[in-house]
Chain A
Amino acid sequence: MKRANEQAVEGFFVLSAYFSALLTVALFGFMLVLGLPLFAEGRIFSIMAQPWAPHLGQFGIQPMIVGTLAISLLSMLFAFPLSLGCAVLISVVSKGKVSWLLRKTVEMMTGIPTVIYGFVGIFLLVPLVREFFAAGSGMCVLSASLMLTLLVSPTMILFFCESFARVPDSYGKAALAVGGTEVQKFLHVTLPNSWPGVVIGFTLALGRALGDTLIALMIAGNAVQTPGSLLDSARTLTSHIALVFAADYESPEFKAIFACGIFLYLFTTFLMMAVRLLGVGRERWAR
């Protein structure tokens, strides 16, 4: 009797694990099925390349793809040096209490809700950008990527710190023993030995930047156009999903949001695969 009970519980463990894995596939399957007509007859490529012009019967998501890439890549351009600098500050330059305090602050930053960044962005950053550049509404690619920088930096900083700490102590000691300074030790020993971790941190942060909805939705302006400059309004794939609400579930407008979903799914999956292929990902979970 007891054995049967145990088998039932263990059966539940197995089922749960495979259910959760299946869920990942089902998520993709649902979007594919509901967006299906879009992908018939090779229309998927025209969807990716066309502009969004409902009055002309064009429902391409090319402006949204460009908007997403512009905002996330620009934020990575700001965030990467910033995070590297902060990670160096925490791991190498500052010591003791200061280093601990900085680290805790960065960890705390991961707990700040995205909608808060968006909210403060509207009332603090957008007017600043508008005044400073004296152009447009201030709701633009630049504002969104500046706020996004704050969102993605903690992920990178913590990951960089961890990969610096993983470089064996003996390597660093050797550098110091031959008369190197702390800075030289970092530049010539720690950094070259931790680059896979740095690349992975960058990749994970890029995934967050691509996938974030609220910041772009609230402060990028959401105009459906291919942004021509940093001060142009833009719409990301994520905002497009959040904004399109067609009453008619069969309309091409509505189907196009599944193209956005599929694109985001494939892109983040691709990034996650890259992280795993770099190897350190597996090592991280096994620890």
Chain B
Amino acid sequence: MGAVRRLQEVGVPFFSWLCGVLLLGSVIAVIGYLFVHGWRSIGLSLIFGTTPPLDALLMKRHVFNGLFPAVAGTLSLIVLSVCWAIPIGMASGIYLAEYAGPGTKAFLNLFFDILAGLPSIVVGLFGFSATVFLNRLFPGSIHPCLLISSIALAFLVLPYIIRTTQMALEGLPLSARMTALSLGASKLQNIVHVLLPQSLSGIVSGVILAIGRCAEDTAVIMLTGVVASAGVPRSLFSHYEALPFYIFYISSQYTDREELATGYGAAIILLCICLVLFLLAFVVKRQVSYHALYRA
């Protein structure tokens, strides 16, 4: 018996340190490998190629050998998706937190939990099948494009925004809720002028993480319109490039060392974007571990 106990006292900490070292070691290996092989390609020419940066930004000239179109595509994708997802997501969150009764809330929560748990490729397949369906209704006019991708991505991040809005509102103390009401404000005035401003940090951190999700997701966009080479997106109805898809594409289709180096560069840029967004969300609200659970 004594031997078993001694074994526990030594074995449990030993095993846990072993696991910790293994996990940290693997993560450092992944990130380190990327930087060791990719740092040389980091620079302005990685993004703009041989085109002068100002000309590229002002759309005067096309960028052929840089990541500029992919970066521009990812940015437009983020802006559009978040634009679709914020109004509907926040409104649903407000409804859940402030209006819905316990029964309705449990009922709706079931759907949002399911939506949050869906693999992103399934959401992509939905976007794709909706396109096929619309194409049957209006032959020849609807194709996979930036608009479709951004709507599908908005569906993907919708549960994030609903959840963070709801949690932020429900976390407010009773005293904060009652003051304006007791002064004669209506329920909606109370929400708009008191409750939302007070829960802003929670909502903003949710939006930032939603942005991160839009930046990194590949499965949705590869079914809904992203292509390997399209230039800077010209309209909502055009094909476009995106950083994560570029990384995926290069990993299997690279033809020379230079292209592969650009792939490494793109991976470093994407990783940095996502980590900076994560830090930002952390600074805005110090409790982000909960969000971590919301990645499926």
Does A associate with B in a complex? yes
Residue of B nearest to A120 (CB): B30
Report yes or no: B92 in contact with A16, Cβ–Cβ below 8 A: yes
Q: A13 an interface residue at 8 Å Cβ cutoff?
A: yes
Interface centre among A10, A30, A85, A161 (most CB of B within 10 A): A85
Report yes or no: A107 in contact with B289, Cβ–Cβ below 8 A: yes
Within 8 A of A (CB), among B49-107: 87-89, 91-92, 94-96, 99-100, 106-107
| Residues on the B chain within 8 Å of A134, using CB | none
Report yes or no: B20 in contact with A85, Cβ–Cβ below 8 A: yes
Q: What's the Cα separation between A15 and B124 when bound, in Å?
A: 24
Q: B181 an interface residue at 8 Å Cβ cutoff?
A: no
The contact sample of 13 A-B pairs, CB cut-off 8 A, is A17-B92, A17-B95, A20-B108, A31-B122, A82-B23, A85-B20, A108-B278, A112-B31, A208-B295, A211-B119, A211-B296, A241-B122, A276-B113
Q: What's the Cα separation between A187 and B15 when bound, in Å?
A: 14
Interface band, chain B: 35 or more
Taking a contact as CB atoms closer than 8 A, the residue among B18, B118, B188, B244 that contacts A10 in the complex is B188
Q: What's the Cα separation between A265 and B117 when bound, in Å?
A: 9
Taking a contact as CB atoms closer than 8 A, the residue among B16, B111, B296 that contacts A85 in the complex is B16
Asked whether A116 and B122 contact (CB < 8 A) given A20-B158, A218-B252, the answer is no
Report yes or no: B111 in contact with A281, Cβ–Cβ below 8 A: no
Q: A57 an interface residue at 8 Å Cβ cutoff?
A: no
Q: What's the Cα separation between A276 and B112 when bound, in Å?
A: 12
How far is the CB of B100 from the nearest CB of chain A, in Å? 7
Within 8 A of A (CB), among B132-188: 132-133, 155, 158-159, 162-163, 166-167, 170, 186, 188
Chain B residues proximal to chain A, CB less than 8 Å: 5, 8-9, 12-13, 15-20, 22-24, 26-27, 29-31, 33-34, 37, 87-89, 91-92, 94-96, 99-100, 106-126, 129-130, 132-133, 155, 158-159, 162-163, 166-167, 170, 186, 188, 212, 215-216, 218-219, 222-223, 244, 247-248, 251-252, 263, 267, 270-271, 274-275, 277-278, 282, 288-289, 291-293, 295-296
Q: What's the Cα separation between A257 and B247 when bound, in Å?
A: 24
Residue of A nearest to B30 (CB): A120
How far is the CB of A132 from the nearest CB of chain B, in Å? 15
Q: A233 an interface residue at 8 Å Cβ cutoff?
A: no
| Residues on the A chain within 8 Å of B222, using CB | 242
Using an 8 Å CB-CB cutoff, how does the interface string of A22-53 with B read, 1 for contact, 0 for none?
A: 01111100110010000000000000000000
Q: A226 an interface residue at 8 Å Cβ cutoff?
A: no
Beyond A116-B30, A261-B121, list 11 extra A-B contacts (CB 8 Å).
A10-B188, A21-B107, A85-B16, A120-B30, A158-B289, A159-B293, A214-B218, A218-B252, A242-B121, A272-B116, A285-B166
